């Protein structure tokens, strides 16, 4: 058996596991941290929602490019989508390290959701929470899929890259699009 070809794959697999676990753990820990003396970064949510939207556009553009056989353009769009996802994550963490979480339906913006505010939401709150929870769950789930898909491409294993990309693409696109939807739904309740 030639261990020279399997060694890089094993090295990547270890890093994929480390990164896939480290990112959600770090985000969860950083959610409990508040940076003292730093003003709330309320300008970030519309920016990182726009980054999510642009990520979705780049993913779709990458798909069109590979279907046209333009591997180089596909690669560029995918690298841009990965870079934007990293940028989103950095801004998202920075915002939550300087701001309390916003409550969906908190009309008076006091940080509490009263019974009256909750009742006024009606069934839309279930739609919001379904989208939010599926977005969060899949945003964690998609990390190893993106990394494995990328590693297969850089290793030239295009058959396996294509196979996993069929799963990765819709998951990643869902996460990007629902990130924008979550922002649009909760933005009326952000503190002024």
Convert the pLDDT of each residue in 127-150 to its tens digit.
999 999 999 999 999 999 999 999
**Is residue 123 pLDDT above 80, yes or no?**
yes
Helix/strand/coil percent split, the chain, to 5: 80, 0, 20
In percent, the amount of the chain with pLDDT more than 90 equals 74
Token output for 47: 């920016």
pLDDT at 1: 41
Domain parsing of the chain, residue ranges: 8-26+42-97+124-189
CA–CA separation, 159 and 28 (whole Å) = 35
Please write the tens of the pLDDT for every residue from 34-67. 887 778 888 999 999 999 999 999 999 999 999 9
Confidence of residue 15 (pLDDT cuts 50, 70, 90): confident
Residue with tokens 């490019």: 65
Alpha-carbon gap, residue 119 to 84, rounded angstroms: 37
CA-atom Rg of the chain in angstroms: 19
Query: Is pLDDT larger for residue 94 or for residue 5?
Result: 94
Place of tokens 């556009």: 57
Mean pLDDT throughout 76-96? 95
Q: How far apart are CA 144 and CA 157, in angstroms?
A: 17
When the pLDDT of each residue in the chain is averaged and rounded to a whole number, the result is: 91
pTM above 0.85, yes or no: yes
For 81, the token pair is 């989508």
Least confident of 23-27, 50-54, 118-122: 23-27
Q: What is the pLDDT of residues 150-180, one digit of tens each?
A: 999 999 999 999 999 999 999 999 999 999 9
């Amino acid at each position: 058996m030639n261990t020279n070809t399997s060694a890089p794959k094993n090295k990547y697999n270890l890093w994929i596991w480390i990164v896939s676990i480290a990112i959600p753990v770090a985000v969860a820990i950083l959610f409990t941290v508040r940076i003292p003396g730093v003003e709330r970064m309320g300008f970030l949510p519309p920016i990182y929602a726009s980054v999510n939207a642009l990520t979705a556009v780049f993913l779709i553009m990458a798909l069109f490019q590979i279907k046209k056989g333009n591997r180089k353009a596909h690669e560029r769009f995918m690298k841009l989508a990965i870079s934007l996802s990293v940028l989103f994550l950095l801004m998202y963490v920075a915002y939550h390290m300087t701001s309390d979480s916003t409550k969906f339906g908190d009309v008076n913006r006091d940080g509490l959701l009263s019974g009256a505010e909750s009742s006024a939401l009606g069934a839309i709150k279930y739609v919001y929470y379904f989208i939010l929870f599926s977005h969060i769950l899949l945003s964690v789930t998609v990390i190893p899929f993106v990394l494995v898909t990328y590693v297969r491409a850089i290793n030239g294993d295009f058959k396996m890259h294509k196979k996993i990309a069929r799963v990765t693409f819709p998951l990643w696109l869902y996460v990007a699009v629902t990130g924008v939807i979550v922002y649009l739904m909760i933005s009326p309740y952000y503190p002024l």
